[in-house]
Amino acid sequence: MLTQWTPTLTTPSFTPVMPAAQRFMQFRYPLPYGALLQDGGVQFVVYSRSATAMRVLLYKRVTDREPYRVVEFNRTTDRWGDIWSLHVPDVEAGALYHYQADGPYAPERGHRFNPNARLIDPYARALAGQFQTSEDGIIRPPKCVVVDETFDWQGDRHLRRPLSESVIYEMHVRGFTRGPSSEVEHPGTYQGVIEKIPYLQSLGVTAVELMPIHEFPTNGVFGSKLDRPNYWGYDSLAFFSPHRGYQHGNEPGGQVRQFKEMVRALHAAGIEVILDVVFNHTAEGNHLGPTLSFKGLENRVYYMLNGDGTYKNYSGCGNTVNGNHPICREMIFHCLRHWVYNYHIDGFRFDLASILSRNRNGELVPNPPMVELIAEDPMLADTKIIAEAWDAAGAFQVGNFADKRWAEWNGHYRDDIRRFWRGDQGMIGPMATRLSGSSDLYQSSGRHPYHSINFITSHDGYPLNDLVSYEHKHNQANGEDNRDGENNNNSANYGVEGPTRRKHIVELRRRQAKNMMASLLLSEGTPMIVAGDEVLRTQRGNNNAYCQDNATSWFDWNLVEKNSEMLRFTQAIIDFRKAQPNVRRPSFLTGQAASEGQIPDVSWYGPEGQGVNWSSQQKSLVCVLGTAGLDDPSARYIMLMLHAGGDSQDFTIPAAVRRLPWRLFVDTAAEAPNDVYPGVNGPAVPAGGRVKLVHHSVRCYVA
């Protein structure tokens, strides 16, 4: 018999729906490994396929040499396949720990387990304390910290600025404010960067690219005979943790909050944060290096090994991360998501990224899984990804790096701009190609001008001032008998090696610095400036200052006033670039006009105002940028006159554009303040359309 169903009527309750942006900001990416706060304790989760036993060591203080508690994983109940997972009650945020793993020690088969080694959790969210050495000589790494990722972002969100509108500023967190001239309250720290944000805003950059902030040892290179400081930080120890050396105070895990505060403050100022990440090797070095983490958990999975168990060394640093092994690939993938969602990072620059294109045998392969995974991950869809598209074993993939979503550090741009301004023969063609976005490298693969990260200098090499002051490297202070560092720098000293008081040399060097800065900021593509070039910082001829944690590398804030002329020059051109779509086009120039009789999007001329003989040894070039293809009323005509010759040169305005109302914007040969007119209100082109450029100079006119 069927009974009639009578619905029960109740008053519905409504839960307010949180706005999507707010939900996004409160979201914390749940990592599957590491020390996870849950159920009144901590869930410790770590991967190891070959371990026969696993322990977590708990400490009360960062200085403790011995744990107060050791908890053994049960091989039956606490192991799921190759994942060891153990819940320890009554452990809170701030707790300190290591892992210990038993297993085979058979280096010839790739195993390096050491039951006495204390190991960093590969997914550790923070480290605390210093290295210690046990009585039997085993190096003990800093302790891992259980971290509560909760943070008040105050509504902060990713800025999502298009790469085509970006001006990148490469900087070192410590070096930016470590010197006494910075006059900040907390020099050399994340807080120090916050204190200098007004300077970054006044300069006009849109993103800072931070040299490595992943945890790294600062006391030398393991597996090396050199006992030199690791200043740059290209020796990662814990990929998920911000470097404790840049925090102020000694609170275990305090760097997590302070780093987030820095990101939040930079975003509030309209400045994005890009991290330089080093997924190609670790600080554990080669067979001579210590067992600190990966070696003691699953050496033959985390590293590329030869058949005899020795380390492949495509990084030049002793080992190579096995980036296309599924476990390593998963770790890198989790790490990137962690930084994007838990730290609001806007982009990544991948050091020696060609290593990510190598399979487990070390061979370069098409469509490498790791590279494609990063490019296609929906959670990284709005994240900038930039490749240093080479490695230390000869791979050079600039223009050919696997996936078309990737931007690249354009090493060809660096070399060609340097050689043109040095006055090398046969450089007008390469110069024109680089100014117009490097279509030879990026167009056929479906990429755009902004995928070319244009730079003339970076942390790796001379700063701009030294590029025009030294013909030879001077790296003796590095302790390697001047053998380290690049020998072929395409640099010049113009008569004297290093500092000089000779007025004509000083003036020429300053002009050449302005020539290159103007070329960089007026090129199609995405410009990157290294911190200090805008005030002519020097490293005294050292082109490999990886170990110079001193005035050689630190930003000298006295130069802001001393070289205010160069700073003003740089600021003005950055401001112009940000306002002018004609130097940041999303598509490549064609040389075509929008309609018959109009000015093409780009035209090239010799100094006499006629067409260019590209096979000549000429050292002068005129570039006229039209507005064809730009649907923007703010777009203006731009005419660049570039003269790298050693004598003065007459230039004639091309007849096709002579009637335009040209006004001078830049003249690198003029004394300040007439070297740049921020409002583009400089003198008009003289009657007759002829101007004279002194040797090694740039003029830019705008109509």
Which two structure tokens, joined as six digits, stand for 115? Answer: 């039951």
E strands, 73-126, in order: 79-80, 83-89, 96-102, 105-106, 111-112
Q: Is position 351 annotated as part of the catalytic site?
A: yes
Task: Return the ∠ at Cα 431 (arms to 425 and 434), rounded to 5°.
Answer: 150
Residue in 298, 388, 549, 556 annotated catalytic: 388
Distance in angstroms (rounded) separating the CA atoms of residues 174 and 442 = 35
Q: What are phi and psi of 457, to 5 degrees?
A: -135, 160
Distance in angstroms (rounded) separating the CA atoms of residues 540 and 537 = 9
H/E element holding 578? helix 564-579
Across 621-632, b (16+ Cβ under 10 Å) vs e yields bbbbbbbbbbee
164, burial (CB in 10 Å: exposed 0-12, middle 13-18, buried 19+): middle
SS (H, E, C) 349-380: EECCHHHHHECCCCCECCCCHHHHHHHHCHHH
Kindly report the length of the chain.
703
Q: Are 665 and 680 in contact (CB under 8 A)?
A: yes
Q: Is position 102 annotated as part of the catalytic site?
A: no
Residue in 209, 284, 351, 524 annotated catalytic: 351
Distance in angstroms (rounded) separating the CA atoms of residues 224 and 285 = 8
Can you say whether residue 536 is alpha, beta or left, with left for phi > 0 and alpha for psi between -120 and 50 degrees?
Answer: left
By DSSP bridging, strand 143-145 and strand 127-128 are: antiparallel
List the one residue out of 166, 137, 411, 117 whose CA is nearest residue 272.
166
Whether a cis peptide bond, with omega within 30° of 0, leads into 673 is yes
Which two structure tokens, joined as six digits, stand for 624? Answer: 């006229």
List the one residue out of 298, 305, 328, 300 whose CA is nearest residue 48.
298
Q: What is the DSSP string of 7-38?
A: PPP-----PPPPPHHHHHHH-----SSEEEEE
70 in helix, strand or coil? strand
- Give the other-Cβ count within 10 Å of 39's Cβ: 9
List the one residue out of 349, 288, 296, 352 whose CA is nearest residue 321.
352
SS (H, E, C) 621-647: EEEEECCCCCCCCCCCCEEEEEECCCC
471 in helix, strand or coil? coil
Distance in angstroms (rounded) separating the CA atoms of residues 425 and 523 = 21
C-alpha distances in angstroms, 333 versus 32, 339, 340, 370?
12, 10, 11, 8
E strands, 211-279, in order: 214-215, 238-242, 272-277
Catalogue the long-range contacts made by 658-663 (C-beta closer than 8 Å, 24 or more residues apart). 658/689, 660/703, 661/703, 662/637, 662/701, 662/702, 662/703, 663/701, 663/702, 663/703
Q: Are 122 and 135 in contact (CB under 8 A)?
A: no
Tell me which residues are annotated as active site. 351, 388
